[in-house]
């Protein structure tokens, strides 16, 4: 029991680290369109590099055989999940608004284009339309938060697996327990990895005008599957180890697909009025996001 609590706390630490990612938004209130495009780019760069350097790399390390079938299967399921969630969320009426949007399957994208916050030309906007914009934003938010929350479960599983030899000889003494060095590294690595991911979550929430503490809350919430996954996998460690290539592939597939279908289009819509359509800002942001995640290669 003591061991399980210990693993749970390690998972909780990684989850709390995600909240740190929203902190920068406590210091800056307002962003120009250029900055907003760059921020979407940063969020995209963070998520793509977390997937490729972190998840796929780890998934390969846990894979056996010549072809990582399990991981490839995970990637495919991740993509299908995002696409399916997008369609389901689009079909559901959030908040009892009856504006018809069944005719086109990507209604949220169309609506969001007009809602980049930086325009003053929305005077003739009716209350009904305003509600529809808010609904489209809400759907996008549910999708992004949902996918990021689901992706953090396999990461929690990885943390739990790394604690397999907790209490055995040869570990690092922490609070009277012998903790495997691998577990210390894994907890620190996932915590560090979570900070920019918290930023990636805060960016869309900020774009939709949510309060600062809600951004922190959402960031931490998105990582709550980590202590849960850590405990489950610690208890069923043999099973969990086999699941890892699939889990990592799944998380990577879902995140990269989410970036391609939601983050990049959102950035380009926000930057539509900028010179060059905001492509330069997007590219700079993407690169900055990738650079922020490069240290992952060395942990």
Residue (136 or 159) nearer to Zn ion, CB: 159
Residue (136 or 293) nearer to Zn ion, CB: 293
For residue 78, give the nearest of 245, 299, 233 by alpha carbon. 245
- State the minimum distance, in angstroms, from the CB of residue 135 to Zn ion: 28
Beta pairing partners, 174 = 177
Residue 246 CB partners (closer than 8 Å, separation 6+): 70, 71, 73, 74, 77
By CB under 5 A, the residues from 223 to 282 that bind Zn ion are none
Rg (CA), the chain: 20
Which three-class secondary structure state does DSSP give residue 22? coil
Over the window 60 to 99, marking each residue x when it contacts Zn ion by CB under 5 A and - when it does not, the resulting string is: ----------------------------------------
Give the strand pairing for 177-179 and 172-174: antiparallel
- State the minimum distance, in angstroms, from the CB of residue 96 to Zn ion: 34
Cβ atoms of residues 225 and 287 within 8 Å: no
In the chain, which ranges are continuous DSSP H helix? 2-20, 33-49, 57-62, 69-91, 107-113, 127-162, 181-207, 212-222, 225-235, 237-258, 264-270, 279-293
Residue (37 or 251) nearer to Zn ion, CB: 251
Residue (14 or 34) nearer to Zn ion, CB: 14
Residue (74 or 171) nearer to Zn ion, CB: 74
The two tokens of residue 114 are 């007009």
For residue 64, give the nearest of 244, 190, 232, 235 by alpha carbon. 244
Sign of CA dihedral 39, 44, 45, 50: positive
- State the minimum distance, in angstroms, from the CB of residue 205 to Zn ion: 17
- State the minimum distance, in angstroms, from the CB of residue 237 to Zn ion: 21
By CB under 5 A, the residues from 165 to 224 that bind Zn ion are 197
For residue 270, give the nearest of 278, 281, 260 by alpha carbon. 278
Residue (37 or 219) nearer to Zn ion, CB: 219
- State the minimum distance, in angstroms, from the CB of residue 212 to Zn ion: 22
User: Total binding residues for Zn ion by CB under 5 A?
Assistant: 1
By CB under 5 A, the residues from 105 to 124 that bind Zn ion are none
Query: What is the rounded CA–CA span in Å between residue 15 and residue 54?
Result: 17
Residue (36 or 49) nearer to Zn ion, CB: 49
- State the minimum distance, in angstroms, from the CB of residue 252 to Zn ion: 9
Residue (254 or 274) nearer to Zn ion, CB: 254
- State the minimum distance, in angstroms, from the CB of residue 281 to Zn ion: 25
Q: Cα dist. 266→112, 195, 257 in Å?
A: 8, 22, 14
- State the minimum distance, in angstroms, from the CB of residue 194 to Zn ion: 7
Chain residues that interact with Zn ion, rule: CB under 5 A: 197
């Amino acid at each position: 029991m003591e061991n399980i609590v210990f693993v749970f706390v390690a998972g909780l630490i990684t989850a709390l680290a995600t909240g740190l990612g929203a902190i920068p938004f406590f210091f800056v209130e307002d962003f120009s369109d250029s900055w907003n495009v760059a921020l979407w780019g940063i969020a995209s760069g963070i998520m793509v590099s977390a997937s490729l350097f972190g998840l796929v790399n780890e998934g390969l390390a846990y894979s056996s055989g010549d072809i990582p079938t399990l991981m490839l299967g995970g990637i495919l399921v991740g993509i299908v999940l995002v696409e399916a969630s997008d369609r389901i969320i689009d079909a559901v009426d959030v908040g009892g608004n009856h504006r018809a949007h069944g005719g086109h399957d990507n209604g949220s994208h169309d609506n969001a284009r007009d809602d980049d916050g930086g325009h003053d030309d929305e005077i003739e906007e009716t209350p009904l339309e305003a509600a529809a914009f808010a609904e489209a934003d809400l759907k996008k938010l549910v999708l992004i938060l949902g996918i990021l929350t689901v992706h953090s479960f396999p990461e929690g599983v990885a943390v739990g697996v790394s604690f397999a030899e907790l209490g055995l000889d040869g570990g690092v003494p922490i609070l009277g327990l012998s903790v495997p060095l691998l577990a210390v590294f894994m907890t620190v690595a996932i915590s560090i990895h979570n900070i920019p991911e918290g930023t990636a979550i805060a960016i869309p929430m900020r774009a939709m005008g949510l309060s600062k503490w809600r951004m922190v809350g959402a960031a931490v919430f998105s990582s709550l599957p980590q202590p849960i996954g850590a405990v489950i996998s610690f208890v069923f460690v043999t099973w969990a180890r086999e699941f890892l290539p699939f889990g990592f592939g799944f998380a990577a597939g879902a995140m990269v697909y989410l970036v391609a279908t939601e983050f990049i289009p959102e950035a380009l819509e926000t930057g539509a009025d900028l010179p060059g359509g905001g492509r330069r800002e997007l590219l700079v942001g993407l690169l900055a996001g990738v650079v922020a995640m490069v240290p992952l290669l060395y942990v």
